[in-house]
Amino acid sequence: MAVHKKVITNRVAFLEKKVPLYASVLGLVGLLILWEIISSTKMVSPLFLPAPSAIVRTGWEMLVSGEIARNLGPSLYRIGVGYAIGSVVGIVVGLILGFSRWADAIGTPVVYALYPIPKIALLPLFVLWLGIGELSKVTIIALGVFFPVVINTFSGVKSVDQSLIKAAVTFGSNHFNVIRKVILPGALPMIFAGLKLAAGTSLLLLVAAEMIAAQNGIGSMVLHYGNLMITTKLMVGVLVLSLLGLTFNRLLHWIEIKLLPWK
Amino acid sequence: MKIVIENVGKKFISSKKEEVTALEDINFSIHEKEFVVLVGPSGCGKSTLLNIVGGLLSPSSGSVYFEGMMEKEPNLAIVFQEIALLPWRTVYQNVIYGLEEKKVSKKELKEKADLYIDMVGLTDFKDAYPKQLSGGMKQRVGIGRALAVEPDLLLMDEPFSALDAQTRILMQEELLAIWNRTQLSTLYVTHNIDEAVYLADRVIVLSRHPGRIKKVIEIDLPKMGRDGEEHREQFERYADEIWQLIRNDAVEALRE
């Protein structure tokens, strides 16, 4: 008599299904190929949609001629300085608001009242106050970065486990050390969430500000070639911006991993 | 030197805006090298009392003070029920926390850290983060951190209540061995009666509503090896006496 066997198999294997590494580039490469085919068959005029190969070729020429460097330099300066100021001030203010009840009561309504203002709307005002130079653009970026950072830092501080604060005080920490050794590291994951949010905002404000009030920079370059209907060069500008955003994100991610090995 | 808890009382305002007396007329003292255990049913205010002694809560009346201490600020350390290790610090960095705040020299800091990390048996895990440790090992770090500051009074707030029963027994044995080496004045809170009899020189039994001292029981057994056969009868007698004192309150607590 044959023994009837019924093998029990793992019915949730789909949850752990392994996907090969190349899958992650499949979508991207497919899209580029499709785009290239559409362009080469001349279904769409290159004036409206230049081929990826043409964009890369033009990009290389602009890189060699130094045109990209000439525009990328000022852009990096603006976003770098603006982002640094905005995030440092945001973290410091967020810590103070989160730690001191008085500062919270006084400062938080101010922050929330100013937060919803679209920052770019203030650019004409800043140009009036600070001139058309770098300062007004840096300020608008710093301001745009400040708000998401301050709000995230604040809620990060509020979410720090009370028992850790009690432990630190018991082992002799004064208020300053409680902030430095417990609250700041405890709020750091939330602060990073704010910093990543702010990275996108800063890029947006950079381009907008350069389109409105700048002689150089990637934003003004994109606008310039748009006006001249040189679409390929415009797309090179867009490509540079997307690479800039990508690098920015990777950089933040890398710093986060370095600073939060305990996560 | 001794630590005196004098006429301590604590009142809370409950969420229903009623005044609740958590503690009333608490009077006792902890002598040098004495291991005092507070035991009582849940809601008797034993953790509240420990927090008052530890300076994390102010009493509504009465006071807690160190007697016979020269000028020097009393030095306290707490082992928390929630363990409360900083997740971003390694075992070593957690243990040195209190020492850092005392501004001891680099050399002394390292020596003491190594000594106490060894004492709690974590030398191989010095550089691990709390996340990588089991519950029992985490609490060893908590104990190491408290021992490292060499406190005048060690406070332990149900330190093993989050551990499983087997780990708990092993940790009790280990704690006793450590205590035997360090001989620190200790105030220990638990709801586990066997644990109280096993560890204490003196057991203070609290009642609830309001939290009062019901009885103080001297445990007249040798400090080490109380779980041995020759002491079993005596051990059981103490445990039973405490249970009878608590029983009614505990039943009541269950009904709430």
Q: What's the ipTM?
A: 0.79
A-chain residues near B78 (CB < 8 A): 166-167, 170
CB nearest B84 (choices: A164, A173, A262): A164
Give the per-residue pLDDT at A1.
57
Total-model pTM: 0.81
b/e per residue A147-164 (b: at least 16 CB within 10 A): bbbbbbbbebbeebeeeb
Nearest residue of B to residue A258 by CA position?
A: B88
AA identity, residue A182 = V
**What is the distance between the alpha carbons of residues B231 and B227, in angstroms, rounded to a whole number?**
7
Q: Is B83 left (phi over 0), alpha (psi -120 to 50) or beta?
A: left
Write out the E strands in A68-164: none
3-class DSSP assignment, residue B225:
coil
**Other Cβ atoms within 10 Å of A84 Cβ, number:** 14
CB nearest B80 (choices: A167, A172, A188): A167
Neighbour order of strands in the sheet with B2-13: B19-31, B2-13, B61-67
Q: For chain A, give the longest Cα–Cα distance.
A: 96
CA atoms within 13 A on the CB side of B56: 24
* Closest C-alpha among A199, A244, A202 to residue A68: A244
What does DSSP assign to residue A181?
I
Task: For chain A, say whether B76 makes contact (Cβ under 8 Å).
Answer: yes
Q: For chain B, give the longest Cα–Cα distance.
A: 55
- The band of A244, judged by pLDDT with boundaries at 50, 70 and 90, is very high
**What is the distance between the alpha carbons of residues B236 and B221, in angstroms, rounded to a whole number?**
12
Beta bridge partners of B213: B206
CB–CB contact A171 B101 (8 Å):
yes
3-class DSSP assignment, residue A239:
helix
Contact call for residues B148 and B78 (beta carbons, < 8 A): no
pLDDT tens digit sequence for A133-149: 899 999 999 999 999 99
**What is the distance between the alpha carbons of residues A144 and B67, in angstroms, rounded to a whole number?**
58
Nearest residue of B to residue A162 by CA position?
A: B84
B-chain residues near A185 (CB < 8 A): 86, 88
How remote is the C-alpha of B32 from its chain's centroid?
A: 15
pLDDT per residue of chain B (256 residues) written in tens, 0 to 9? 889 999 999 998 888 888 888 899 999 999 999 999 999 888 788 889 999 999 888 999 999 999 887 777 888 999 999 999 999 999 999 999 999 998 889 999 999 999 999 999 999 999 999 999 998 999 999 999 999 999 999 999 999 998 888 889 999 999 999 999 999 999 999 999 999 999 999 999 998 888 899 999 999 888 888 888 888 889 999 999 999 998 887 777 777 7
CB–CB contact A261 B129 (8 Å):
yes
Q: How far is B8 from chain A (nearest CA, A)?
A: 20
Give the per-residue pLDDT at B208.
85
AA identity, residue B179 = W
Q: Which two tokens stand for residue B75?
A: 């030095």
**What is the distance between the alpha carbons of residues B38 and B46, in angstroms, rounded to a whole number?**
6
Between chain A and chain B, the number of residue pairs with CB atoms below 8 A apart is 55
3-class DSSP assignment, residue B77:
strand
